[in-house]
Amino acid sequence: MADPLLQISKLDAYYNDFQALYQLDMSLGEGEVLAIIGSNGAGKTTLMRSISGLISNNSSQMRYRGNPIGALRADQVAALGIALVPEGRQLFPSLSVEENLLIGGRLGRKGPWSLRTVFNLFPILEERRRLPSTSLSGGQQQMVAIGRALMSNPDLILFDEISLGLAPVIIKSIYDALPNIVGEGISAMIVEQDISKAISVSNRVYCLQEGRISLEGSSKSISREEISHAYFGIT
């Protein structure tokens, strides 16, 4: 494989005083879609927050395009082209739908995504553009959160549990839109509780269990049995 886009080496990460990740090794190639699965508390969100810079780590534990990013602030990481769709959406309540999208695009990076193309992807948002973002339904808020991340025209987009709290029908419609996103050449990491969804859209899958990788493999060839064992830590 060519040089990975993102290389994680021996990452130790903490959630407050509690160590959530132990010596994690992981890599992501350009244009790849990785699925990260694991039960609650396995460390998935800590991983996302570490990569995006919300948690500060050792400088060389994470390399993006060869450059160490572990110790960078979140705004510096965002400027490099890594965007996070946070767990629980976390839209800005004081901003309207449109303003949430606009602020996502404030970095002014070049790329296919703009207010127009995001509205094309999620037409319902155009209808609701002036409404306070938190007055939308859960599924629509998730669309805003994804759109907000897309507006920065990232090269790597991190999805943290986008199906959480949503009805299956909504989850399906969001995942149906995913190929339009990742098809544009963006690399992605998808953290998911919904294993089948995660497998269906990804190239490779990592399973985390208590802060360590318990399984790694190609999404096409991995078996359900392997996943169950890795997920629950059954050896």
Chain residues in the site for other proteins (CB under 8 A)? 52-54, 73-75, 78-79, 83-84, 86, 90, 92-95, 99, 102-104, 106-107, 148, 152
Q: Minimum CB separation from other proteins for residue 116, in Å?
A: 18
Nearer to other proteins, 37 or 143 (CB): 143
β-pair type (18-28, 6-15): antiparallel
Nearer to other proteins, 94 or 200 (CB): 94
- For the chain, what percentages of helix, strand and coil (3-state, to nearest 5) are there? 35, 25, 35
Nearest approach in angstroms of CB 132 to other proteins is 11
| Residue 59 vs 90, nearer CB to other proteins | 90
CB of 6 to other proteins, least distance (A): 17
Alpha-carbon span 83 to 70, nearest angstrom? 15
Distances in Å between the alpha carbon of 68 and those of 11, 44, 62?
12, 21, 6
Query: Which C-beta is closer to other proteins: that of 53 or that of 222?
Result: 53
CB of 50 to other proteins, least distance (A): 13
Between 78 and 213, CB nearer to other proteins: 78
- Give me the half-sphere count of Cα atoms (radius 13 Å) on the Cβ side of residue 169: 0
Does residue 174 contact residue 146 with C-beta atoms inside 8 Å?
yes
Nearest-approach distance from CB 103 to other proteins, in angstroms: 5
Residue 160 in tokens:
């943290």
